[in-house]
Amino acid sequence: MNLTLDLLWPYLGVGAAAVGLHLWRHRRREESDAAAQETSRREGLNEPPSLHPVVDPHRCIGSGGCVHACPEQALGIVKGKAVLINAAACIGHGACHAACPVEAISLVFGTERRGVDIPTVSPDFESNVPGLFIAGELGGMGLIRKAAEQGRQAIDALRRRARGGAEFDVVIVGAGPAGISAGLAAIEHKLQYRLIEQEDSLGGTVYHYPRNKIAMTAPVRLALIGKVRMGEVQKEKLLEFWQGVVEKTRLAIHFHERMEGIERDGAGFVVTTNAGRWRTRSVLLAIGRRGTPRKLDVPGEEQAKVVYRLVDAEQYAGQHLLVVGGGDSALEAAVALAPQARRVTLAYRGEAFSRVKEKNRQALAEAQRAGRVDVHLSTQVQSIGTDDVVLAAPAGPKTLRNDAVIVCAGGVLPTELLRSVGIEFATKRGTV
């Protein structure tokens, strides 16, 4: 007996050491996740921007599967349960939901503090206004594969409506996953369609992801293409795939065409855009929740030198630039432009940057110390001239030399426009 115990002791010691190491690492990880969660709260980054997970603490077993599945490191384990520790980083691709072994995660819009208005739609994705369909992120679905499926199913539903009496069977608004899928389905069913996109590129919300961002998706069936098997993929590869689909199928997309109004026209609609007025039997809204870029509404903003997102920092080499905004996109733009431009000024109407990632805050501070970026808080643009801008600052108006203005002030959803047509909305506050 003693001989047996003597033989077992080394193995028991190794086992105990392994268990102790595991518990120590687990405790350290939880402490790190709790600290990250507190940092997010302190810096105002604990409000998710879009679709995000909500964990049922009564079902969660703290396996960590969701944590490992999230490429954004938005989730962590605190007190034995999964929680959002960096909500602002979540892009709602749903990998955590699929990875949970006990189905403790739901994907929702809005929080108790910040409600999100979601239009009411039927199982066929038709709104309460007959003939007006909504698919994708605007309708409460941010997952790429499901948005694409909704676009296809919406076309399947609306094609059964009576045709004739209008120029188009359907006007599709938005060239993201739902809009592209809907356009392919319209071609397959030989519908007369017009697909419009207010920007100069396809991809919708995905196009605005940071470079090399992981865009989670899954097998999806596209009209004309068939079943596409795709797993974890970077933004650029996904956009490249969609561009190939558009070229292969000759899907017609009218870029730089912005929806400005929808009116009832008998049994159909008239969709007004900056390119014309289109009579259609049905309308499919496949727009994201970024909306139309929020404008400054100041004199001179109509000039070509004013843009609403940074595409290529190198095109501004040697110029005097003004970046407007106080979020991550504004700080990232200012930092990216700093090595290229002669002078970069960042103007924000708030007293401090309260909802930005710490890495962006640090990068901006370094650019300031290096003298490459000037930051003006509590400051608003008063007017934009041909070669200057006037800022309204606490110490009085200030005129700066200027070659270009990059406005990073978020977007405005056409909620009021849709309500004027009669679409009903429900406010989601983080519940299923």
The CATH number corresponding to 306-410 among 3.90.550.10, 3.40.440.10, 3.50.50.60, 3.30.870.10 equals 3.50.50.60
Residue 380: pLDDT band with limits 50, 70, 90: very high
Q: What is the pLDDT of residue 139?
A: 76
**363 confidence band (pLDDT: 50, 70, 90):** very high
Amino acid at 306: V
- Residue 3 pLDDT > 60: no
Tokens of 372: 């490459």
Per-residue pLDDT tens over the stretch 37-79 = 887 777 666 777 677 899 999 999 998 889 988 877 888 999 9
**Unique residue bearing structure tokens 């034995």:** 80
Q: What band does 189 get if pLDDT is binned at 50, 70 and 90?
A: very high
Please say if the pLDDT value at position 289 is more than 80: no
Give residue 338's pLDDT band: very low, low, confident or very high (50, 70, 90): very high
322 within 8 A of 381, measured Cβ to Cβ: yes
**pLDDT of res. 174:** 92
> What is the 8-class DSSP label of residue 89?
G
Tokens, residue 168: 């188009």
Separation between Cα atoms, residue 243 and residue 249, nearest integer Å = 10
Q: Would you state the pLDDT for residue 17?
A: 65
List C-alpha distances in Å: 354 to 50, 242, 325, 430: 18, 36, 12, 22
Percentage of the chain lying above the pLDDT 90 cut: 43
- Indicate the CATH number for domain 117-291+413-428: 3.50.50.60
Confidence class for position 267, pLDDT limits 50, 70, 90: confident
**SS3 category, 258:** coil
Residue partners of 102: CB distance under 8 A and separation at least 6: 59, 60, 61, 63
Q: What pLDDT does residue 212 have?
A: 60
Q: What is the pLDDT of residues 145-182, one digit of tens each?
A: 888 899 999 999 998 875 667 889 999 999 988 999 99
Higher-confidence residue: 161 or 378? 378
Residues 6 or more apart whose CB falls under 8 angstroms from that of 243 comprise 202
- DSSP state letter for 204: G
Phi then psi for 27, rounded to 5 degrees? -65, -45
pLDDT at 9 > cutoff 90: no
Q: Which residues contact 284 (CB under 8 A, 6 or more apart)?
A: 133, 134, 135, 151, 154, 155, 158, 170, 171, 172, 173, 179, 182
When the pLDDT of each residue in the chain is averaged and rounded to a whole number, the result is 85
User: Residue 358: helix, strand or coil by DSSP?
Assistant: helix
What pLDDT score does 342 carry?
94
Q: Within the chain, which residue ranges are assigned CATH 3.50.50.60?
A: 117-291+413-428, 306-410
Which residue, 106, 92, 96, is CA-closest to 49? 92
Predicted pLDDT at 5: 54
pLDDT for res 404: 96
Q: What is the pLDDT of residue 208?
A: 62
pLDDT of res. 93: 67
Q: Delimit the CATH 3.30.70.20 region(s) of the chain.
A: 14-108
- Is the pLDDT at 143 greater than 90, yes or no? no
Is residue 309 a contact partner of residue 325, using CB atoms and an 8 Å limit? no
Domain 14-108 class, CATH top level? alpha beta
Would the CA dihedral through 194, 198, 199, 205 be positive or negative?
A: negative
Say what the pLDDT of residue 138 is. Answer: 80
